[in-house]
Amino acid sequence: MTPSELKDLIDRYLKNNVTEQERKLVDNWYQSYESSNHSLSAEKETQLSEEIYGYVQKHLHPAPAKIRRISINRRYAAAAAAILLVSAALFSRKKAPERQANETFTTISTGTGQLKKLDLPDGSKIWLNAQTSIRVSKTFESHTNRNIYLDEGEAFFEVRKNPARPFLVITKSITTRVLGTSFNVKAYRQLNSATVTVRTGRVQVNDKQKKLAVLLPNQKMTYSTREHTGYVSTYNAENSRKWAEGKTVLNHASFNELALAIHNVYGIKLISKNKLTYTYQYNIIISPLRTVDETLKIVCSIHQNSFRRKNNEVIIY
């Protein structure tokens, strides 16, 4: 079957205009896809998904005059998407990547102790934590995919729903794909990890080779940039966006996470001369309304440490 014949079959399948034999063929293909181990790279899946989503969404939401004549089962649409994805891989269809070689970007960055809010042309909103840098294409509105490049740092996203235009947050290690939701992405280099936390809706997280997980509200994926593995845990997503309100909530945080948060808020470097410190976990709310010395006293009281401060460097021992 050629790609054009396959597309014609899918089109008729969605319109319930197929023979029983053709319907069984499509259903069998769909079942085999569900149980197979076919995998595409995240980059290839992103390229192919543009056409899949646009094609399926057009049939899921036809013109009003046609609604009375077409009865569509959403499972059929999912089957069509799966078939189109597999077939595209099998036939090695080449689709030009959306990002052009001469594409230009607007870069938005924050410094120590600085937060920013960005309103995108599509109605979506982004909050940038301290020491964060993102890039947005100057032709953002003309692309099918709404790509945001989080080059460094942490950002919280409230995405305006648009099924025809998937929203992608791309870091150096993972890509988070959504249609409309709110979520937090944290990808600081010094942590050797990237995290995605979902507040509302659902998101899909990929690395450069495979799909890692589909996350629902109050779920968090932590991805190791060293080991290229990730795990999903339950997390209060409201805490993931507190930094946008000026409060950084740390739950079972490592010393490196604590040091990063201290630096982001106060601009000081936190180091330790006590090796045990790196085995501890920290539960604390860091607020710029406290002085740095007040915060350091709270930090040291957690595990009965002391600190010595010299200019912009603090040593815990």
Q: What is the pLDDT of residue 28?
A: 63
Judge contact between 59 and 13, C-beta under 8 A.
no
Whole-number mean pLDDT of the chain?
Answer: 81
Task: Specify the higher pLDDT residue, 51 or 71.
Answer: 51
Q: In the chain, pLDDT over 70 holds for what percent of residues? A: 73
Q: Name the nearest CA neighbour of 55 among 114, 6, 102, 115.
A: 6
Instruction: Please state the separation of Cα 10 from the chain's center in Å.
Output: 30
| Amino acid making up residue 138 | K
Q: Which contiguous run of DSSP H or E holds residue 299?
A: helix 292-302
Task: Give the DSSP letter string of 5-65.
Answer: HHHHHHHHHHTT-S-HHHHHHHHHHHHHHHHS-----HHHHHHHHHHHHHHHHHHHS--HH
Task: Specify the higher pLDDT residue, 128 or 47.
Answer: 128
- pTM assigned to the model: 0.69
Q: Name the nearest CA neighbour of 269 among 311, 207, 304.
A: 311
Judge contact between 213 and 176, C-beta under 8 A.
no
Domains of the chain (ranges plus CATH)? 3-90 (no CATH), 105-239 (2.60.120.1440), 247-316 (3.55.50.30)
- pLDDT tens per residue across span 197-246: 999 999 999 999 999 999 999 999 999 999 999 999 999 999 999 999 99
Residues 6+ apart with CB under 8 A from 286: 247, 248, 250, 261, 262, 265, 295
